[in-house]
Structure 1
């Protein structure tokens, strides 16, 4: 059997569809980094694999193109071999084999070189597998929907061609010209307000006002007055009436962000407006008719808040006249290259250096180095699009005067640590071990079934070897990281002060294993901290 990358649990992988009831998926390769920046985002669908045939990818073919575009071109990097990489159907459903030929292009995953034939599981493909070709081009191997290749009519201001984004665009087009309220769900930083603006711009109210209100930023005692206005004399100091956001948005669209933070009395008033089209200003007794389309957004679990009595079920039903989900960045990794270059161009334009991204010389060094591009792809992005924009600014400004982007050691360390917890992550020298099927030390189970005492005992038993601990507990390694982060009695190497590490180094005379046991942190992560501090552990 071909060796595989580190096994991962599908429970730790974002759902991307598939299975007998889901859409049919096919593998695809998307350009994340290339010496010619304009090539970023181009895609090659590997449809032949679903028919049992091979696909050979080299410098000269086949063609990569934008989704839906009639023409494309091969990778064309002169440092990539003409001897192809061969992709073929794997031995299990949904898996893909990658064969690297002797004398061909060097292929690496997170700095670990692949040789011979490797089999990538369906769950690893669902997470996205970044392939570095010749340390110059980065391709992401990932699934796409078989029927999802038609060009979208309008980008709606959203960058990307991932399945999730294309699906979101279609839903926006379907609901935009209707007057129903829309509830936009998604994690913080995913761009929910951008979705609301796109709906407004394509609605019948596009000539009216679009007002955005963040309920989480308004003191709870003022929320009702801010939204519904006040009657003169409603409270001490109210010498004149106040219009409020609803009346200010009359004839247009009102976007309420963080609607889950609405106080109970505001929830009652919102429900009345949605049911009757009328509101009562604070202190008023006469209803006022308003013509407003309400769009709301939340990153909270409103169903859980309903069960806890913190949110009213009838209001959720009214708000969710149509329900939209904005996918997090980790579920649309194939868009990351285009998004990064989009934000980088904005920053370079502000610096007067946008010409850096107009390069068409395939012999040039990639402005986004392949190793850094891979770290970006493998990062978990808890802050989503907002975090990516900030990171692009940090890298661009921090690399002024340099021919290529460079990450300072602290930032590089953060990217590497977070990527280590990614499902299917191939960390140098570790994940390229070849576990056989069924070789787990314990049956698979949910992380929620692991108690803190059991977790600590397993960590101590395996000397804080996180891979061995996860296998012993029968949970995916990403879930182990989550359990450690959530435990108030456990810490990571990143939590240690430099003084504490230095004292332990002296006490144990540089013995890394002894230090890891004493400090109760990962040996590998502790080794990185020692390197940062200029301390060299004793040779074994």
Structure 2
């Protein structure tokens, strides 16, 4: 490739930053390298800010220089792996905000499975999206944009990662947590919206009061009003006693309403009244009850489109979004994927008593997470976001149990399959790669009972994860179970069966879920209703 003139300085204003809101006031964006995979797993997440590029100067990276460090740390260390070359690769500013990589005689560098034989340029858009760089088949670095003013990767909010998008979420939480205004958290399925609601509660003045989490998509529509607002004895068939609702359970605390876009019309009207007056009417009751609840709602739906279609009330949206927080999808924070994967994998390894695998004794040992596999994780679209990544980490760890390093089985091989050249950071000389579109939604009628059962079992009866795998909406899971003569929901279980299983499993909800083969969340609710635990 012919050499292009180098601009006098890195100009991040030309970068494609539409993937997430990177222009937060006070932030200073610079290129950076973050370790996503390393033979010493504790190094994952360490970062090198390429600030010299902002002054038009190149930077050299080798086994012995420079130092990578955690954003919150003061001391750092060079890459240090003995298989990396002492001869550096060179990163330099390129035209229109891009970055030029010169592998030189240093460590073998691969992008998208292709070894770079000569200098390559990555566009500003590719850098903004995150470019995975494999070094010597041992270390994976992600070239991306970072906020040079940020110095925290995992703070008191309990969030894993140091991406610009996640840093902005932290800032939003800090600003709104101690206020009483309702918050609307918007983001794709599996992106961690409930974790944000929990962080808001923990850092609010209500932290010592109840935090109640409700998934409106998991409540039958005909029961939603009674579940939320309570019901008086005799209000409907089955109401044999006064039943307090979730709002009353969250009195003086925080109520988290997930999938608020699934609320039936009558529930939307009742929600709007509570938000406007602080009063609710239990089903069958004519006297209002005052409640003091901080409401945090979440949705992955396009509520504005639902308003146009007459399925959601505009005044309710305005009330819910007293303050809005957007959660970036995982593909917009690729530099966090390595750290998140190791976070989930460590928990699985500790459960297996094999946490020692993350730190091999010999410096020449094969990495537990091979760099090629790490590159596939970083380049995957993650339509199920963090939930999907967690499930893949569990599958990899358990499926590779007893082996010196992680290996893909046939199913994961297919799920993580990547079109050649479709990874972020495609070499500049290659023909433009068209990323394969996300697989279309399937019709519930296409799902057999055997396929449904396999998906539920594979995902530990997590209905959302099973729905993501089957590419159907979660509500369709309930419809399919209702039509099946062999499957059932937690609501179908008798109190005697639940009580007996509770004692036989010694209160282990996971074991109960596997034995009864129902939703863990719904089963936990039934256990509480029966006064067990």
Question: 1:422 and 1:191, CA in 2 relative to 1: closer, same or farther beyond 3 A?
Answer: farther
Q: Which runs of 5+ in 2 are unaligned?
A: 5-13, 444-533
Query: In the alignment, what sits opposite 1:167?
Result: 168
Instruction: Measure how far apart 1:487 and its partner are.
Output: 12
Instruction: Measure how far apart 1:342 and its partner are.
Output: 0.7
Structure 1 residue 96 and structure 2 residue 99: aligned?
yes
More off after superposition, 262-271 vs 137-146: 137-146
Question: 1:412 and 1:136, CA in 2 relative to 1: closer, same or farther beyond 3 A?
Answer: same
Deviations 1:182-213 (CA, angstroms, capped at 9, x unpaired):
11111100111111111111111111111111
Instruction: Measure how far apart 1:155 and its partner are.
Output: 3.7
Would you say the 8 A contact 1:136–1:370 is kept in 2? Answer: yes
Would you say the 8 A contact 2:213–2:256 is kept in 1? Answer: yes
Query: In the alignment, what sits opposite 2:434?
Result: 477
More off after superposition, 171-180 vs 72-81: 171-180
Would you say the 8 A contact 1:230–1:244 is kept in 2? Answer: yes
Q: Distance in 1 between matches of 2:247 and 2:158?
A: 26
Q: Distance in 2 between matches of 1:155 and 1:205?
A: 17
SS at match of 1:240: coil
Would you say the 8 A contact 2:212–2:250 is kept in 1? Answer: yes
Q: Distance in 2 between matches of 1:21 and 1:349?
A: 41
Structure 1 residue 211 and structure 2 residue 212: aligned?
yes
Work out which of the residue numbers 50, 71, 87 in structure 2 matches 1:46.
50
Q: Distance in 2 between matches of 1:268 and 1:423?
A: 46
Query: In the alignment, what sits opposite 1:72?
Result: 76
Question: 1:354 and 1:153, CA in 2 relative to 1: closer, same or farther beyond 3 A?
Answer: closer
Q: Distance in 2 between matches of 1:235 and 1:159?
A: 46
Query: In the alignment, what sits opposite 1:249?
Result: 250
Query: In the alignment, what sits opposite 1:365?
Result: 366
> Which runs of structure 2 are paired with 1:102-501 in the superposition (5 Å)?
102=105, 104-147=106-149, 149-151=150-152, 154-359=155-360, 361-417=362-418, 422=422, 424=424, 426=426, 433-434=429-430, 477-478=434-435, 481-482=436-437, 485=440
Deviations 1:385-442 (CA, angstroms, capped at 9, x unpaired):
011110001111111111111111332232123x65856464xxxx67445xxxxxxx
Instruction: Measure how far apart 1:154 and its partner are.
Output: 2.8
Structure 1 residue 63 and structure 2 residue 67: aligned?
yes
Question: 1:486 and 1:153, CA in 2 relative to 1: closer, same or farther beyond 3 A?
Answer: closer
TM-score (norm 1): 0.76
Give the number of aligned pairs.
434
CA RMSD in angstroms, aligned pairs only: 2.6
Q: Distance in 1 between matches of 2:248 and 2:422?
A: 47
Question: 1:316 and 1:257, CA in 2 relative to 1: closer, same or farther beyond 3 A?
Answer: same
Would you say the 8 A contact 2:279–2:291 is kept in 1? Answer: yes
Query: In the alignment, what sits opposite 1:7?
Result: none
Instruction: Measure how far apart 1:364 and its partner are.
Output: 2.1
Would you say the 8 A contact 1:54–1:89 is kept in 2? Answer: yes
Deviations 1:33-76 (CA, angstroms, capped at 9, x unpaired):
10110000000010110110010000111110001311101000
Instruction: Measure how far apart 1:110 and its partner are.
Output: 2.4
Query: In the alignment, what sits opposite 1:473?
Result: none
Q: Distance in 2 between matches of 1:349 and 1:484?
A: 34
Would you say the 8 A contact 1:423–1:477 is kept in 2? Answer: no
Query: In the alignment, what sits opposite 1:496?
Result: none
Q: Distance in 1 between matches of 2:3 and 2:215?
A: 51
Question: 1:152 and 1:18, CA in 2 relative to 1: closer, same or farther beyond 3 A?
Answer: closer
Question: 1:19 and 1:223, CA in 2 relative to 1: closer, same or farther beyond 3 A?
Answer: closer
Question: 1:337 and 1:281, CA in 2 relative to 1: closer, same or farther beyond 3 A?
Answer: same
Q: Distance in 2 between matches of 1:169 and 1:394?
A: 30
Would you say the 8 A contact 2:15–2:125 is kept in 1? Answer: no
Would you say the 8 A contact 2:22–2:165 is kept in 1? Answer: no
Would you say the 8 A contact 1:112–1:432 is kept in 2? Answer: no
Instruction: Measure how far apart 1:172 and its partner are.
Output: 0.8
Q: Distance in 2 between matches of 1:163 and 1:83?
A: 31
Deviations 1:318-341 (CA, angstroms, capped at 9, x unpaired):
111111111111111111111111
Question: 1:326 and 1:20, CA in 2 relative to 1: closer, same or farther beyond 3 A?
Answer: closer
